[in-house]
Amino acid sequence: MSEDLPVAVTLPSPLDTHVAVWIERDLGWQVVDEGGPLAPVIALSDRACGQLPWIAVTDGSPDGEQVRRHLTAGALDVVAWPHDRLRIPLLAARVERGSGGDHRGRLTVAGVAGGVGTSTVALAIGGLLAWSGAAVLVSGGADVLALAGAAAAEPALAGAAPGGAAPGGAVPGGAAPGGAVPADAARGWSTGAGRHERAAMANRSAPSPVPGVPRLSVVGDGIDVATAAWTGDFVVADAGTAMTAETTVVVSRPDRNLDRACASGRPVIVVGDQPLSIRDCRRRVGTSLLAHLPTSSRVARAGLQGHVPAALPGTWLKELRVALGRLERRS
């Protein structure tokens, strides 16, 4: 991590002063103007800064919708000031690493059983990584394509920058920032065909861009070929119920399957609220509990309409964002 890293700070007063003083005094970074002679490498801001990578900084803890708004606007992550400030150099280091060559990462999500939400979690993680500026491919079966509404989009070039954008920088399907879906894209999801029927119409052997999430693509059939050819930053693999040595996280409902999840030795994401309470889950799983994602009608609706991850609630995205941070620190 460069001691003299040039950084732009574009935050409301007096937060901007507090942040600038801390990063110069404690981190040894240089606070510079965006239009100055020394170009910033990253910005600490409350809004998008053009093509400059940026970390959203909030005065105090953000709520779920604030996290969602910043991430869908392209923030690398959201940091609460002052108690979360030590994450800033970790996030900035990710930007520096990403500028130095091929650093493609792989994250494999497996479920202890079918129907526990593995595909939804994989797409949500892919969305968070894509909103942070990475080109991401989520690989899986027909469920992944159906949940993402990928049948409404044209096949993407592998690793295309910005990760599935159309020529000239247009977002596939006309998707708007913040997860809003314009009418022309929505028509592709409401032709009367069920979500699995729509997925069957897609070319599942080639990556397809996900509507509403620039830089995120999905692939169904031909997974091995597509992931090998992918030249983006991350591959998030939905492994179904196949828990192997390559599994990164395990997804489970809060039920008796938690014991099997714990036995895997992998971090566990719990989806749902019953029959076990979150307190009971923590007692069973202990430090392996990576995240708890509550039952939500918005999640169910997003899945049925093929709007995952763009229409997922902020509570889910906030919890998974924290989970990804924990994974990064463990690695």
Those residues whose C-beta lies under 8 Å from the C-beta of residue 151, and which sit 6 or more positions away, are: 145, 188, 198, 199, 200, 201, 202, 208, 306
The structure tokens listed for 325 are: 């941070």
Asked if pLDDT for residue 210 goes beyond 90, the answer is yes
Mean pLDDT confidence for 86-97: 78
**CATH classification of 6-98, choosing from 3.40.50.2300, 2.30.130.60, 3.30.420.40, 3.30.200.20?**
3.40.50.2300
Looking at per-residue pLDDT, the higher value among 165 and 116 belongs to: 116
Q: What is the pLDDT of residue 166?
A: 33
Mean pLDDT confidence for 219-235: 70
CB 255 within 8 A of CB 278: no
Taking the C-alpha atoms of residue 291 and residue 117, their distance in angstroms, rounded to an integer, is 13
Residue-wise pLDDT for 23-40, tens only, equals 999 888 999 988 778 889
Residue-wise pLDDT for 182-202, tens only, equals 333 332 323 333 444 444 444
Pairing assessment for the beta strands 105-111 and 216-219 based on DSSP bridges:
unpaired
Highest mean pLDDT among 63-72, 156-165, 223-232, 270-279: 270-279
Residue-wise pLDDT for 111-128, tens only, equals 999 999 999 999 999 999
User: How many whole angstroms from its chain centre is CA 127?
Assistant: 3
Ranges of each domain in the chain: 6-98, 105-246+299-330
pLDDT grade for 231, boundaries at 50, 70 and 90: low
Asked if pLDDT for residue 245 goes beyond 50, the answer is yes
Mean pLDDT confidence for 69-81: 86
